[in-house]
């Protein structure tokens, strides 16, 4: 990694300081508190300095959201998997719900489809979820295609956090997140690792998860096998063949 020149390093430090000060304001008081004047005062600089780094408040909020969420995702990525992929999936769910409730204003920013779609941190977070779901599939515990499971978990997690945040803390249903997770798991998990005779769809999903690692096959053979297994794993549903 190339070293930053002194002027570039100073500029980088100033930008980071601005973002961190804005993040503290966002956590403590919400997006409305993140004004140029307030951030500049918190950072100990003149307001015009902010505009040397960010075009407007929305650009600053984008940077704040990316900074905080990227730190959170990096922590998830570094977590060592256990020997139980289903338990790891549950742990990821609990962490996601906890992060959302602890960072209400930030989570609201990422719930905006426009902002989330252009976020590298959001993409990285989904990659972590996909990897965890893939491990469940490879263990023979997934009854639906991986893509369907990822989308169900992502939608359920986001919806649960937003629902809980819409209610004052003292009136929130403490069991809602658990009930939602259990409902999704009933839709996507088998009760036990499956054998071909037990559940053809789940077996196809599991086999497809490990097919890319079959080095005895050529690239073309692995691609063809994945296509066949994709059809078997969706019961011929064209809308899910590329899942």
**pLDDT, tens digit (0-9, with 9 covering 90-100), for 114-152:** 766 667 778 888 999 999 999 999 888 998 999 999 999
d(CA 141, CA 1): 41
Q: What is the mean pLDDT of residues 166-182?
A: 96
Q: Distance (Å, rounded) from C-alpha 123 to C-alpha 120?
A: 5
Q: What is the pTM of this model?
A: 0.69
Q: What is the pLDDT of residue 188?
A: 94
Question: In sequence order, what are the beta bridge partners of 83?
Answer: none
The domains of the chain are located at: 82-240
**Tally of helices (H runs) and strands (E runs) in the chain:** 12, 0
pLDDT at 40: 93
pLDDT for 240 equals 43
The mean pLDDT value for 55-63 works out to: 86
Distances (CA, A) of 72 to 79, 96, 227, 235: 11, 9, 35, 37
The answer to whether the beta carbons of residues 180 and 156 sit under 8 Å apart is: yes
Cα separation values, 146 from 124, 135, 142, 162, Å? 17, 10, 8, 24
Average pLDDT of the residues of the chain: 81
Which range, of 13-17, 33-37, 116-120, 213-217, averages the lowest pLDDT? 213-217
Burial class (CB in 10 A: 0-12, 13-18, 19+), 130: middle
Burial class (CB within 10 angstroms; exposed 0-12, middle 13-18, buried 19+) of 186: exposed
**217 or 178, which is more confident:** 178
Contact 25, 42 (CB under 8 A): yes
What is the reported pLDDT for 243? 44
Q: How confident is the model at residue 91 (pLDDT cuts 50, 70, 90)?
A: very high
Over residues 102-123, the pLDDT tens digits come to: 888 888 877 777 766 667 778 8
């Amino acid at each position: 990694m190339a070293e930053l020149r002194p002027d570039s390093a100073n500029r980088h430090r100033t930008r980071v300081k601005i973002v961190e000060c804005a993040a503290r304001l966002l956590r403590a008081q919400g997006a409305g508190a993140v004004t140029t004047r307030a951030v500049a005062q918190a950072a100990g600089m003149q307001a015009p300095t902010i505009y040397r780094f960010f075009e407007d408040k929305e650009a600053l909020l984008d940077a704040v959201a990316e900074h905080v969420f990227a730190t959170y995702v990096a922590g998830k990525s570094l977590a060592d998997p256990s020997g139980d992929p289903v338990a790891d999936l549950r742990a990821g769910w609990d962490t996601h719900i906890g992060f959302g409730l602890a960072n209400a204003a930030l989570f609201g920013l990422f719930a905006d489809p426009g902002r989330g779609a252009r976020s590298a941190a959001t993409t990285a977070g989904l990659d972590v979820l996909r990897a965890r779901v893939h491990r469940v599939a490879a263990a023979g515990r997934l009854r639906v295609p991986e893509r369907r499971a990822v989308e169900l978990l992502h939608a359920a997690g986001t919806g649960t956090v937003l629902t809980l945040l819409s209610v004052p803390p003292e009136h929130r249903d403490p069991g809602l997140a658990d009930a939602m997770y259990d409902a999704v798991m009933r839709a996507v998990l088998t009760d036990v690792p499956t054998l071909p005779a037990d559940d053809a769809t789940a077996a196809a999903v599991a086999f497809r998860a490990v097919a890319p690692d079959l080095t005895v096959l050529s690239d073309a053979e692995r691609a063809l096998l994945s296509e066949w297994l994709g059809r078997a794993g969706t019961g011929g549903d064209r809308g899910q063949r590329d899942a």
